[in-house]
Structure 1
Amino acid sequence: MSEAVLVLNSGSSSIKFGLFDISAAEPTLLCKGLLDEHEAKPRLVMKSPAGENLFETHREVSDADSGHLFSDVLGFVEDRFGGHRLRAAGHRIVHGGPDYSGPVELTDDVYARLEALSPLAPLHQPRCLEPVRTIAAIRPDLTQIACFDTAFHHSMAPPASRFAIPRRYDERGIRRYGFHGLSFEYVGRRLAEIAPELAARRTVVAHLGNGASLCALRDGRSIDTTMGLTPLDGLVMGTRCGTLDPGVLLYLLQHENMSAEDVQHLLYHQSGLLGVSGISADMRTLLASREATAREAVDLFTLRAAQQVAMMATTLGGLECLVFTGGIGEHAKEIRSAIGERLGWLGVRIDAAANDAMRERISGSDSTVDVFVIPTNEELTIARHCAALLGMGA
């Protein structure tokens, strides 16, 4: 009997699924799905790798809360793919803190340690852990595995990993961790597949989406990144502020009489593209808008991205390769073009026709920097980690 893992990638209001055969050297996608909780009746859709609808259901919120939708997923998988033994469920967990630099089995002790990290990722960590608890109640015999967004960045070393605060806080784990590591890991491996020599180049990967960050890569390892202790730092994001003068926080607390909870809500939910534009957190909406504030938000997004690409290039000692990934990075040609123009002084030249056609390589013939668009695949990265932990072919 073939072996399979179910991968869960939890977002703020949806969960992506992927069922992978892990019997061979490389995991193979058997089906993929989405649990969309935007509506009053959460919708579960399962599709073939080619996109054909295989299964769909809606349930009341109360039913979803009791885990029935996860029962539907497990039931569908076992009915449709009965020739595969489900070995484990693999989860994307946003924060692994200082202790976890690789995938681990989710025991009660590990779960408690990860739950304690929720203040460092209040939007993401509870959301990632919720399916773990639900599946444990439905299938207590099923192995569950945590794969961390922070793990890839454990290769970062001082000074890149430090804050300029008393070092006793660094010793307590207050340091720069970085996120989107599963995406950066996938892109680094894909670059090596395109051309082995690319892996050794001084590369900046731009994961641009509702959450956004950059990673400085060398020899497939993370050297620096734009996010820090939490997923708030760095680039402008959909509703998150990115880099912010700490004095702003002091002012809000001391002179606007805001509570810590109010400030947290402001920085996570009301800032970024939404806050600057006053219109939307969705880049597609802003690019289509004629409002001046929409243009201001887009300009700030591309300026901050270009500035921090240059910052990553400083850590690397140069820039030889630039990769766009993530929802915006993969689909918004205008954003890629604008960032490329701002980086012209670093030798970046984007070929307009290649960019418009969404080709994999979009650098112009006169560019001294190789520029790529590589769709990310966090679910495949998680499946690889699960297979390795389970002692399978990958």
Structure 2
Amino acid sequence: MTQYFLAVNTGSSTTKLGAFDVDGPEAQPILRARLRHGSADSEIRVWDAEGRSLPAPPPVRSGRRGDAVVDVLTWLEGKLETPARAVGHRVVHGGPHFREPVILTPEIGRALRALAPLAPLHQLPALDLAAKIGKARPNLPQALAFDTAFHHGHDPVVDRLGLPRSYEAHGLRRFGFHGLSYEYLAGRLRQLDPSVARGRVVAAHLGSGASLCALLDGRSVDTTMGATPLDGLLMATRCGSIDPGVILYLQQTLGLDGARLSDLLYEHSGLLGVSGLSGDMRVLLQSDAAPARDAVELFVFRVAREAAALAGTLGGLDGVIFTAGIGENCPEVRAAICERLAWLGVQLDSAANRRGDTQISTPGSGVAVWVLPTDEEQMIALHTRQAIALVESAGQPFAERLA
């Protein structure tokens, strides 16, 4: 059996897994799985490389994410008759220092845990899961790939906050997130349309978490998320950009402490807060309730407004990419966003949009519009291979790295 890496993409309520063959120049999928976590149960689905569901997924322990992922790893090793070469994890926040994938060590783990206040929904779950795997497989190398890494290299003015400069010593600046998704999309667009990929593109990762990225010749030059994944667009349960004075009012006048503020802004705002119904765009689109329509309209408005702002950073617009749950599966939302961007030259092919074609702009559109499924797990696998190769080239045994 060929060597393979297990890519682990830890979300707030789901964990996506992918086993990838890494013997060739690209990471080729072998199996994929999705774990959905509840208070008492862990539901799992598994697909083969062609996307066909496997009729007998592995049994997993209920409730605890780490136990369930270890169960999947054990099942996978038995099914493929060989242990994994390494496990790679998506880590949302790499801070100012982690710009390349790395092998997890205790020291690196402690440094990344210190960033948890800047990404409370994602940072500790990913690191805790890695710790669980490390306990079950102490000699198995684990690599970390960072969502923030793709956005390093911005012009400093893009990432600077309007705070006293002394706070920069605390690592407070804009970082940007969803970098693994944007890195994949940039590469995919180079395959589909090299001329547009060399130009000015706004990529829209629209899911439960949502952001936009300005790509210039495939590089990130600006993005909507800032120091934390709370910033930018309206999201499923996150508020996005908000007047800081509102935060002060909630704290000083309405008496919300830090814990209640965090819960409000991360878990009870966004589409859920505005609609009072759900943070799921599918539910809102099916509802006739006025607050649900208000939430969808606000989401569309904010995406279009921020896309236009990123076009300003780019100095024009040659392409738009939609991806993730809403971007890939909600033609009504794509159409409404494109209608608001018509002044920039976007012309939507309505039939192609309804079908969910790969390209949904008209032949005469001044801006090419694409719907591209993202693949963060593939990027995790590729970054894991990069991290493994760096250590092997240095000739340092993994046992020393993991100690």
TM-score range, shorter chain: over 0.9
Amino acid at match of 2:26: E
Q: 1:377 aligns with which of 375, 378, 383?
A: 375
Whether the aligned pair in 2 keeps the contact of 1:199 and 1:220 (CA below 8 Å) is yes
**2-side partners of 1:68 and 1:239: how far apart?**
27
**Residues 168-183 of structure 1 aligned to structure 2 (within 5 Å):** 168-183=166-181
Residue 59 (structure 1) aligns with = 61
**2-side partners of 1:236 and 1:313: how far apart?**
19
Call closer, same or farther: CA 1:116–1:357 in 2, change over 3 Å.
same
Q: TM-score, with normalisation over the residues of structure 2?
A: 0.94
Q: 1:220 aligns with which of 212, 218, 233?
A: 218
| SS of corresponding position for 1:52 | coil
**Residues 204-283 of structure 1 aligned to structure 2 (within 5 Å):** 204-283=202-281
1:106 equivalenced with 2:112 (yes/no): no
1:31 equivalenced with 2:31 (yes/no): yes
Residue 147 (structure 1) aligns with = 145
Whether the aligned pair in 2 keeps the contact of 1:10 and 1:127 (CA below 8 Å) is yes
Amino acid at match of 1:56: P
Cα displacement (A) at 1:37: 1.1
**2-side partners of 1:70 and 1:304: how far apart?**
36
**Residues 26-175 of structure 1 aligned to structure 2 (within 5 Å):** 26-38=26-38, 40-49=40-49, 50-53=51-54, 54-61=56-63, 64=64, 67-82=66-81, 84-175=82-173
Cα displacement (A) at 1:85: 4.7
Residue 300 (structure 1) aligns with = 298
**2-side partners of 1:230 and 1:276: how far apart?**
21
Residue 289 (structure 2) aligns with = 291
Q: 2:350 aligns with which of 341, 349, 352?
A: 352
User: Which runs of 5 or more residues in structure 1 are unaligned?
Assistant: none
Whether the aligned pair in 2 keeps the contact of 1:11 and 1:124 (CA below 8 Å) is yes
| CA RMSD in angstroms, aligned pairs only | 1.4
**1-side partners of 2:44 and 2:127: how far apart?**
19
Residue 332 (structure 2) aligns with = 334
Call closer, same or farther: CA 1:40–1:85 in 2, change over 3 Å.
closer
Identity of aligned residues (%): 48
**1-side partners of 2:312 and 2:109: how far apart?**
38
| SS of corresponding position for 2:161 | coil
| SS of corresponding position for 1:160 | helix
Cα displacement (A) at 1:71: 3.2
Residues 202-259 of structure 1: per-residue CA shift (max 9 Å, x gap): 0000000110000000111100000000001110000000110000001111100110
Amino acid at match of 2:46: M
Residues 35-69 of structure 1: per-residue CA shift (max 9 Å, x gap): 221252223333312323142325343xx37x542
Amino acid at match of 1:51: R
1:21 equivalenced with 2:21 (yes/no): yes
Whether the aligned pair in 1 keeps the contact of 2:353 and 2:360 (CA below 8 Å) is yes
Residue 390 (structure 1) aligns with = 388
| SS of corresponding position for 1:142 | coil
| SS of corresponding position for 2:58 | strand
**1-side partners of 2:198 and 2:62: how far apart?**
51
User: Which runs of 5 or more residues in structure 2 are unaligned?
Assistant: 391-403
**2-side partners of 1:153 and 1:98: how far apart?**
11
Where in structure 1 do 4 or more consecutive aligned residues deviate above 4 Å?
Answer: none
Amino acid at match of 1:40: A
**2-side partners of 1:45 and 1:57: how far apart?**
11
Give the total of aligned pairs. Answer: 388
1:9 equivalenced with 2:9 (yes/no): yes
**1-side partners of 2:130 and 2:213: how far apart?**
28
Amino acid at match of 1:24: G
Cα displacement (A) at 1:79: 1.0
